[in-house]
Structure 1
Amino acid sequence: MGTRMRLFEQQTLKRLGVLLTVSVCAWAQVAQAQSGADVLRQIQEAARQLNYVGVYAYQQGDHIESSRITHQFDGKHEKERIEVLDGAPREYLRTDDEVQCLLPEQKTVLRERQRGDRFPGLLRIDPKSIENNYSVSVGAVALRVAGRHCRPIEVVPRDSHRYGYRLCADTESSLLLKAQMIDERGTVIEQIAFTQVTIGAEISDAMLVPAWPTKDWLTVRTQHQKIDLAALGWRVNAPPGYVSTSEVTREFADRKRVHQLVLSDGLATISIFIEPYLPERSEYVPQGAAQSGSVNIYGVRVANYWLTVLGEVPASTLEQLAQSIQYMSVASPR
C-alpha cells in the first residue's frame, strides 16, 4: 500500500506540475502581450482602487523603517492611514490627495497635498510617457513576496540620466509588493517591500481612526502658491525625458520664502529649491555634490540666489542640470 501511495503522490505531483507549468506559461503570454505602460498602469490603479492592510519595510543604506498601511476605496474616494512603527511616533491620514501628518510629541497636525507616487503607488505622469525613457519587461517566472506570488518587472533606463527599477506586482491583484532602485552598476540602492499584506479585505472606518485625540492640537497647513519660474527670469534646461510637474513658492514659519521646481520622468523626481543667498548663513549644502543614501544633492550659487538640487538620480545628471541653470533679472513694471 505504501508503494501505491508513493506512486499516486508522484502521479499527482507530476499532474500538478504540468498544470502549474501551463498556468505560468499562460500568465507569461498575457504579460508579454501587455505593453509596459499597461503593466505600470495596472499597478497604479491597484494601489488606488483596492482595499488592503499590511506592513512594509523601507531600506535606504543602513536605515530601515517599518510602517503599517491601511487603505480603503469606496468606489469614489480613497482613505488611508499609515502608522510609522520605528523612531518617533507619527501617523499619516489621507483622504484622496489631502494628507494630515500627526506628530504627537509636538501635538501638531501638518496638512499638505499628497503626491501620487507613494508606495504602493508608483507613477507621477502618464505611463505611456515612461516608455520613452525606460524599457519595461515582465518576467516569466513568478516570485514570492510577503507570502504572495508576484510577477517580476524590470524597468531599465534608456540613458544615463536615471536609475533602473526592479518591481514585483501581485499576480492576482497587480498591487505592488516590492520595489528596488538599481544604480548603473546593478547595485540596489533603495528598496521597499511588504512583509505582510492582506488584499481585498473589508476595511472599517474604525481602522482609519488615529491613535491619538487631535481635537486640541495645533494645525499647520503648508503654504504654497503656484508660480512661473520662466516669467521670474529662471532658465532651467531639464534633463532629457524630464518635465515640470510643479512650480510653487513655499512660505515657512520664519517667513522665509523658497521657490521649488519639481521635474519628473514619471518614476524619477528632481527637486530644485531656490532661495536668496545670505552670506551669514551656514546651513547651505556645500558647493558641489553631496550624497545622502540614494539621494544625490548639488548646491550652487546663481547670481544672488542659492540653489539646492536633489533627487534619486545619478550625480552626473544633477551636476549637469545645476550647472546649466541661468537667471536673468526681470525688470520691475513701472
Structure 2
Amino acid sequence: MAALLASAVAAASETTADDLVAKMVRAVDQLNYEGIFVFSQENRMETMHILHGRDEQGSRERLTALTGEPREVIKDDHSITCIRADSGSVCMEPRKTLMGMPGMSPLRGGTEGLRDNYRVNAGASYRIAGLSCREVAILPRDELRYGHRLCIHEDSGMLLKAQLQGHDGGVLEQFMFTHIEFPESVEEERFQPTLEGEGFTVQRLEKRDRPEREVLEPAPHWHLRDLPRGFDVTAVRKRAMDANPHPVQHMVLSDGMATVSVFISRAERPEDLLVGVTRSGALHAAARPVGDYQITVLGEVPAATVRLIAESVVHEESP
C-alpha cells in the first residue's frame, strides 16, 4: 500500500513538473518583462539588466551589463546587435540572454522525451526576487550529461532561477533574478541602444537566409557510430563558411535537454589538425583528425561525452 501511494505521489509530481516546464517555455518568449539578474560561472559573476517584449512583430530583447566593461546585446527575430567598449572587452554571448538560454529549445517538445536520460520532478517552493517559485529538478541518470535545477514562477511561468550542475551536485553556471516586473507593453524605443557615441564598437549580425549556392548537400559518407546512450542526430547541414575555404558539415545531436554540435571540415595543411579536449566553464570541445579532416565536437556536456562523440565519427565510402 505504501509503495502504491509513493508511486502515485511521484506520478503527480512528474505531471506538475511537465506543466511547469511547458508554461516556462512559453513565458520566457511570450511575456513582457524587465528585471535585473546575476549570472555566475566558476569564479566570475556578472549583474545584468534585461528588457524583453513580445508583440505582433515578434520577440525583442535588450541585455545590458551592469558590472565590468560597458557592453550591450540587442536581439530580435531578425538580428543581433552587440555594442562594447573599444578597450577590447568581449560582448555577452547571445546564449546568456533568456531567449537563448542553454536547454530551452530542446524543451519545446516538453519533458516526456527526457525521462530515459533524466529524472524530472517538481520540488519545494522558494522566494526569488520577491516572488514565489517552484523548483523543477532535471537530473541525469548517468555521468554523460549535466543536471538542471529550475525555479519557475507558478502564476506566470517565468523562469526566475536556473542552475547547471555537475556530477557532484556542484553548480557550474547559475542565473537568478534579483528584481523583475511584468509590464503590459514595452515601447519600441526602449529597445534602442543605451551605449552610444565615441568609445564604443557596434557589431550587427543579420539573421538572413544564406544564398542557395552556399547551402550544400551533406556528404553521405560521414556517420556517427556507437553514440553515447540517449543522444540522437536531429539535423545535418553543410554550408560554405566565410572563415573556412572548404564547406563545413554540421551535425546536431540532442538527448532532449543537452545539445551537441559536430563540425567536419577539411584542413588546409596537416599541421592545422588538432587533437584534444578543451573547456570553458560548462562548455567542452573535443578535436580529432580523421584523415585530412578536422572533427570538432562542442557542447555544454561533460568532457567524456564530447570525447565519445568525437570518437564515434567515421568516414565510410559506399561499397
Unaligned runs of 5+ in 1: 1-27
Instruction: Name the structure 2 match of 1:175.
Output: 158
**Deviation digits for residues 185-236 of structure 1 (CA, Å, limit 9, x no counterpart):** 111111122222112443222211222579x97755478655554x442102
Do the aligned partners of residues 121 and 321 (structure 1) sit closer, same or farther apart at CA in structure 2, a change above 3 Å counting? closer
How do 1:13-92 and structure 2 match up within 5 A? Answer: 32=13, 34-74=15-55, 77-92=58-73
Shift of 1:43: 0.8
Check if 1:265 corresponds to 2:255: yes
Q: Which amino acid aligns with 1:102?
A: C
Cα distance in structure 1, aligned partners of 2:103 and 2:278: 28
Query: Conserved in 2, the CA contact under 8 Å of 1:167 and 1:178?
Result: yes
Check if 1:233 corresponds to 2:215: no
Shift of 1:314: 1.9
Do the aligned partners of residues 267 and 99 (structure 1) sit closer, same or farther apart at CA in structure 2, a change above 3 Å counting? farther
Higher alpha-carbon deviation: 51-60 or 254-263: 254-263
Shift of 1:53: 0.5
Check if 1:303 corresponds to 2:291: yes
Check if 1:276 corresponds to 2:259: no
How do 1:1-334 and structure 2 match up within 5 A? Answer: 32=13, 34-74=15-55, 77-96=58-77, 98-103=78-83, 118-119=100-101, 122-124=104-106, 125-127=108-110, 128-139=112-123, 141-211=124-194, 220-221=205-206, 226=215, 229=218, 231-237=219-225, 238-248=227-237, 249=239, 251-253=241-243, 255=245, 257-279=247-269, 287-329=275-317
Q: What secondary structure does 2:100 align onto?
A: coil
Cα distance in structure 2, aligned partners of 1:73 and 1:31: 33
Cα distance in structure 2, aligned partners of 1:55 and 1:256: 43
Q: What secondary structure does 1:266 align onto?
A: coil
Query: Conserved in 2, the CA contact under 8 Å of 1:47 and 1:176?
Result: yes
Q: Which amino acid aligns with 2:27?
A: A
Do the aligned partners of residues 173 and 31 (structure 1) sit closer, same or farther apart at CA in structure 2, a change above 3 Å counting? farther
Q: How many residues align structurally?
A: 293
Do the aligned partners of residues 226 and 242 (structure 1) sit closer, same or farther apart at CA in structure 2, a change above 3 Å counting? farther
Q: What secondary structure does 1:184 align onto?
A: coil
Query: Conserved in 2, the CA contact under 8 Å of 1:36 and 1:135?
Result: no
Cα distance in structure 2, aligned partners of 1:47 and 1:275: 35
Do the aligned partners of residues 51 and 255 (structure 1) sit closer, same or farther apart at CA in structure 2, a change above 3 Å counting? same
Q: What secondary structure does 2:189 align onto?
A: helix
Shift of 1:102: 2.4
Identity, % of aligned pairs?
30
Q: TM-score, normalised by structure 2?
A: 0.77
Shift of 1:151: 0.7
Instruction: Name the structure 2 match of 1:15.
Output: none
Q: Which amino acid aligns with 2:101?
A: F
Q: Which amino acid aligns with 1:328?
A: E
Higher alpha-carbon deviation: 164-173 or 116-125: 116-125
**Deviation digits for residues 286-328 of structure 1 (CA, Å, limit 9, x no counterpart):** x222322212221111111111212111222222111111013
Higher alpha-carbon deviation: 54-63 or 125-134: 125-134
Q: What secondary structure does 1:34 align onto?
A: helix
Query: Conserved in 2, the CA contact under 8 Å of 1:297 and 1:310?
Result: yes
Shift of 1:329: 4.9
Cα distance in structure 2, aligned partners of 1:187 and 1:258: 36
Cα distance in structure 2, aligned partners of 1:76 and 1:104: 27
Do the aligned partners of residues 119 and 199 (structure 1) sit closer, same or farther apart at CA in structure 2, a change above 3 Å counting? farther
RMSD, aligned α-carbons: 3.5
Cα distance in structure 1, aligned partners of 2:246 and 2:171: 37
Q: What secondary structure does 2:137 align onto?
A: strand
Do the aligned partners of residues 153 and 56 (structure 1) sit closer, same or farther apart at CA in structure 2, a change above 3 Å counting? same
